Amino acid sequence: MKEFLMPSLGADMEDGTLVEWRKKPGDPVSRGDIIAEVDTQKGLIEIEVFEEGTIGEFLIKEGEKVPVGTPMALIKTEKAETEVEKEKQPEEKEKEPEPEVQKSSEEEPALQPTEEHIQKETPLQQPATKRIKATPLAKRIAEENKIDLSLITGTGENGAITKDDVNRAMMEKAAVKPAEKPSEELIREKTPEKAVESGEAVRLAVAAAMSKSNREIPHYYLEKKIDMSTALLWLKEVNKERAVRDRLLPAALLIKAVASALDEVPSLNATWENGLRLKNEINIGFVVSLRSGGVMVPAISNADLKSIPEIMEALNDLIPRARTMKLRSSEIGSSTITLTSLGEGGADAVFGVIYPPQVAVIGFGGITEQPWPEKGMLGLRPVITATLAGDHRANDGLTGSRFLTSLNKHLQNPEAL
Amino acid sequence: MSQSRKITYREALKEAIREELLNDERVFLMGEDVGRYGGAFAVSKGLLQEFGEERIMDVPLSESGFVGAGIGAAIAGMKPIVEVMTVNFGLLPMDQLVNTAATMLHMSGGQINVPVVVRMSCGIGKQLAAQHSHSWEPFYAHVPGLIVLSVGTHEDARWLLHTALQSPDPVVIFEYTSMLNMEGELSEDPAEVDITKAKVRREGRDISIITYGAAVYKCLEAAEDLAAQGIEAEVVDLRVLRPLDDATFIASVTKTHRALIVEDAWRSVSVSSEVSARINEKAFYELDASVQRICGAEVPIPYPLHLEDASVPQKKDIVEAVIKMIRP
Contacts of B290 in chain A (CB under 8 A): 157
Tell me: ipTM over 0.90: no
The pLDDT of residue A347 is above 90: no
- Backbone φ and ψ for A377, nearest 5 degrees, come out as -115, 155
Residue A180, pLDDT score: 43
pLDDT classification of A32: cutoffs 50, 70, 90: confident
Name which of B284, B325, B328 is nearest A136 (Cβ-Cβ).
B284
Whether the model clears a pTM of 0.90, i.e. scores above it, the answer is no
Q: Which residues of B are known to be catalytic?
A: 63, 132
Nearest residue of B to residue A161 by CA position? B288
Mark yes or no for CB contact A163/B288 under 8 Å.
Answer: yes
E strands, chain B, in order: 4-8, 27-31, 56-58, 79-86, 117-122, 147-150, 171-176, 183-187, 199-202, 207-211, 233-237, 240-242, 259-266, 292-296
Buried b (16+ CB within 10 A) or exposed e, B76-114: eebbbbbbbbbbbbbeebbebbbebbbbbbeeeeeeeeb
Q: Read off the pLDDT of residues B262-294 as tens digits, 9 standing for 90 and up.
A: 999 999 999 999 999 999 999 999 999 999 999
Residue A18 has pLDDT above 90, yes or no: no
Q: Is B150 helix (H, G, I), strand (E, B) or coil?
A: strand
Q: Do B289 and A135 touch (CB under 8 A)?
A: yes
Inter-chain touch B287–A162, beta carbons under 8 Å: no
Question: Nearest by CB to B285, which of A137, A155, A157?
Answer: A137
Mean pLDDT of chain A: 80
Chain A within 8 Å of B281 (Cβ-Cβ)? no
For position A94, what pLDDT does the model report? 45
Whether omega for the bond prior to residue B243 falls within 30 degrees of 0, making it cis, is yes
What is the pLDDT, as a whole number, of residue A386?
95
Task: Choose the closest CB to A136 out of B287, B325, B328.
Answer: B287
Is B288 within 8 Å of A140 when comparing Cβ atoms? no
DSSP state of A114: T
Instruction: Name the amino acid, one letter, at B223.
Output: A
Q: In sequence order, what are the residues at sequence separation of 6 or more whose Cβ sits closer than 8 angstroms to the Cβ of residue B287?
A: A135, A136, A137, B253, B257, B258, B259, B279, B280
CA distance linking residue A275 with residue B49, whole number of Å: 77
Q: B288 to chain A: which residues are within 8 Å by CB?
A: 135-138, 156, 162-164
Q: Note whether A340 and A318 are within 8 A (CB).
A: no
- Cα dihedral A15/A21/A25/A30 (nearest 10): -90
> Do B288 and A138 make contact, defined as CB atoms within 8 angstroms?
yes
Element (H, E) at B217: helix B215-228
Pick from A113-122, A322-331, B95-104: least confident: A113-122
> Do A44 and A2 contact (CB within 8 A), yes or no?
no
Query: Hey, are the CB atoms on A155 and B285 less than 8 Å from each other?
Result: no
Q: Nearest CA to CA, how far is B314 from chain A (Å)?
A: 23
Asked whether the bond before A309 is cis by omega within 30 degrees of 0, the reply is no
Q: Does B4 touch chain A (CB under 8 A)?
A: no
Q: Which of A139, A141, A163, A164 to mutate to test the interface with B (most CBs of B within 10 A)?
A: A163
B285 touches chain A (CB under 8 A): yes
Residue range B177-202: average pLDDT? 91
The 8-class DSSP code of residue A267 comes to: G
Contacts of B258 in chain A (CB under 8 A): none
Strand A34-40's sheet: what is its strand order? Answer: A65-67, A15-21, A34-40, A43-48, A326-328
pLDDT tens, position by position, B16-43: 999 999 999 999 999 999 999 999 999 9
Of B23, B69, B16, residue with least CA distance to B43: B16
CB of B77 within 8 Å of any CB in chain A?
A: no
Q: Which of A9-23, A178-192, A253-267 has the highest mean pLDDT?
A: A253-267
Task: Mark yes or no for CB contact B288/A157 under 8 Å.
Answer: no
Query: Stretch A292-309: mean pLDDT, rounded?
Result: 88
How many CB atoms are closer than 10 A to CB A131?
6
Which residues of chain B lie closer than 8 angstroms to A163, CB-CB?
257, 288
Answer whether A156 sits within 8 Å of B287, measured CB to CB. no
Q: What pLDDT is stored for residue A81 in this prediction?
A: 46
B224-244: pLDDT as tens digits: 999 999 999 999 999 999 999
**Is residue B99 within 8 angstroms of chain A, CB to CB?**
no
**Nearest residue in B to A162, CA atom:** B288
Identity of the residue in B285, B325, B328 whose CB atom sits nearest the CB atom of A136: B285
Q: How far is residue B73's CA from residue A196's CA, in Å, rounded to a whole number?
A: 85
Q: Are strands A276-278 and A270-272 parallel, antiparallel or unpaired?
A: antiparallel
How far apart are the C-alpha atoms of B238 and B263, rounded to whole Å?
A: 11
To the nearest whole Å, the CA of B234 is away from the closest chain A CA by 18
Q: Does B94 touch chain A (CB under 8 A)?
A: no
pLDDT in tens, B91-104: 999 999 999 999 99
Compute φ and ψ for A212, nearest 5 degrees: -60, -45
Among chain A, residues having any CB pair with chain B shorter than 8 Å are: 135-140, 155-158, 160, 162-164
State the smallest CA–CA distance between residue B245 and chain A in angstroms.
Answer: 23
Say yes or no for a CB contact (<8 Å) between A157 and B328.
yes
Kind and range of the H or E element at A66? strand A65-67
- Residue A381, pLDDT > 80, answer yes
A351 DSSP assignment: -
Residue A107 has what DSSP assignment? S
CA distance B326 to chain A (A): 8
